[in-house]
Structure formats: C-alpha cells, structure tokens
Amino acid sequence: MIEVKDVSKSFGDHDVLRDINAKFKPGQNNLIIGSSGSGKTTLLKCIVGLHEPTTGEVYYDNENFTAMHFEGRVPIRKQIGMLFQNSALFDSMTVEQNIMFPLNLFTDMAKSEKQDRANFCLKRVNLEGKNKLYPSELSGGMKKRVGIARAISMQPKYLFVDEPNSGLDPKTAILIDELISELTEEYQTTTVVVTHDMNSVMGIGDYVIFLHDGKKWWEGSNHEIAHTNNKELNSFVFASKFMKAAREKL
C-alpha cells in the first residue's frame, strides 16, 4: 500500500500541491484525475521521488520513502514500474534491450533467461516478434505497450502510469486501460494512474481522487462519481456534451 500524508509542493512562491492525503491499495486501479495544471503529475512525481515534497511524507508499505536517501530508496525503486506519458523508451536500444535493461542491471539472470522474460513481457502486451525494432519504428500505442512491458519486466509491486491514453485513438486507449487493469489484478500491484480521460475513469477507476487547484476535492469509486454533488468535479466530469447527455439519461 502507498500512503500519501499531508503532501504539499511549491515551486518558488507557486503552491502546486496543498496537503494531499490518500491511500492507494494493492490490487486496485487508483486514479488521480483533474484538469490540466491541477497538480496530478506533480503528485505522481512526489510519490515516486522525482520531486521532493515541500512538506509531508510518502509511505510505501509503512516505510517512509520521503525520509530515505538515494541508496535507501533503491530496494523500493526496484519494485517500481512506471509508464511515462511519452513512454520514455531508450532511443539507442531495441525493444528487447529496453525491456532487458533493468534485468541486466539488477539481476544475475542468464542471457537466455532475460530473453525469455523479455519475450514473455512482449507477449503479455501483444507485441510478440517486435524484439529487434527501435522505438523510432513504433507507433504511439506500441510505444506505450513496450513501456508497460519494460515496467513489468521486474515484476513490480507498485505500478505508476502517467497519462496512458494521451495521443492515442479511443480504441487503443481502451486496450491500454484494459491491459493496465489486467496486470493490476494479475500481479496484485498497487497501481496509480494519472489521467484526465473520463473513459479511463469510468472503465477502470476502482479508487479515484480528484485534484483541483492543487487540493484534493473528492475521492471515491467510478460508480460514485456520476452521483456526486461536488461542483468542481461535476464541471470536470461533465464538461463534454457526450457526458452531459449521458448524465441526463441516468
């Protein structure tokens, strides 16, 4: 479980996050939603340690991650898999080398074992046989799937996903959402997804927190989201005509 306690983050005079509290449980899809500039990605970066919170702490299974130094964080980081918004695949490496990279650095597996693991991960994301391609030869959706394959190569306990559907067509976006949801259930990972895609929220949002102006305004499940009276959340969720029409039918 990941616990965020009173996390605030400021850049100079600008407060991006203010006193955020949340508990992300294993085996469920935890979604952080909000409009652009609400602080979603900053919160995710505070959780994974790419940003240090100005105040507050982040706990991984009751271990205070924020208080740890670089070396202390390494054992936890080895259990983290992350899919970045732009996939962040290593350009100079093939798909297979990208997936094998953490295995090369942190395991003593034989080369054949590592290749087997890479093949398994690629099969899991439906990209069998794409081992020798470079990231520049892949489509946006394929890059995301390779990013997921790399993220799960070390069998992570915690899976973080930043805007998984950005730049993807609706069909591919749903496939990526389903894949994340399946992996969460299969490996019982603590999955945290940052998104502003309402399809993702309604499709896989087991636990959703809504950020607005750097503050947590609402939390609950995707089933509860349509019936909330929270004004800010409603204006975010039902911003599109399609969602407005859907609400009227409810």
Partner 1 sequence: MFQSLGRYILLLRLSFRKPEKFSVYWAEIMREMVSQGIGSLGIVIIISVFIGAVATIQTAFQLISSFIPKTVVGNITRDSTILEFSPTITSLVLAGRVGSSIASQIGTMRVTEQIDALEIMGVNAPGYLISPKVISGLTMIPLLVIVSVGLGLMGGYVACAASHDVSTADYVAGLTEGFNPVIATVCAVKAITFGFIITSICSYQGYYTSGGALEVGQAATRGVVYSCVMILFADLVISRMLL
CB of 146 to partner 1, least distance (A): 12
Q: Binding of partner 1 at residue 80 (CB under 8 A)?
A: yes
Q: Binding of partner 1 at residue 143 (CB under 8 A)?
A: no
Per the DSSP assignment, residues forming a β-bridge with 162 are 194
Q: Binding of partner 1 at residue 84 (CB under 8 A)?
A: yes
Query: Do the beta carbons of residue 44 and residue 194 sit within 8 Å?
Result: yes
Q: Binding of partner 1 at residue 102 (CB under 8 A)?
A: yes
The token pair at 234 is 């409603």
Return the residue of 70, 112, 248, 250 that touches partner 1, per CB under 8 A: 70
- Give, in order, the Cα–Cα distances in Å from 74 to each of 2, 68, 82, 157, 192: 16, 10, 15, 14, 19
Task: With contacts defined by CB under 8 A, name the span among 31-39, 84-92, 221-229, 231-239 that binds partner 1.
Answer: 84-92
Task: With contacts defined by CB under 8 A, name the span among 45-53, 119-127, 171-179, 218-226 that binds partner 1.
Answer: 45-53
Return the residue of 106, 116, 132, 188 that touches partner 1, per CB under 8 A: 106
| Closest CB to partner 1 among residues 13, 91 | 91
Q: Are strands 55-60 and 2-11 parallel, antiparallel or unpaired?
A: antiparallel
Q: Binding of partner 1 at residue 88 (CB under 8 A)?
A: yes
Q: CB-based contacts of 168: which residues, under 8 Å, 6+ apart? A: 140, 141, 144, 176
Q: Binding of partner 1 at residue 111 (CB under 8 A)?
A: no
- 95-106 vs 111-124: helix crossing angle, rounded to 10: 130
Q: Binding of partner 1 at residue 48 (CB under 8 A)?
A: yes
Q: Look at the alpha carbons of 120, 122, 126, 128 in this order and tell me if their dihedral is positive or negative.
A: negative
Return the residue of 77, 130, 145, 212 that touches partner 1, per CB under 8 A: 77
The token pair at 100 is 């094998």
The residues binding partner 1 (CB under 8 A) are 48-50, 70, 73-75, 77-78, 80, 82, 84-86, 88-91, 101-102, 104-106, 154, 160
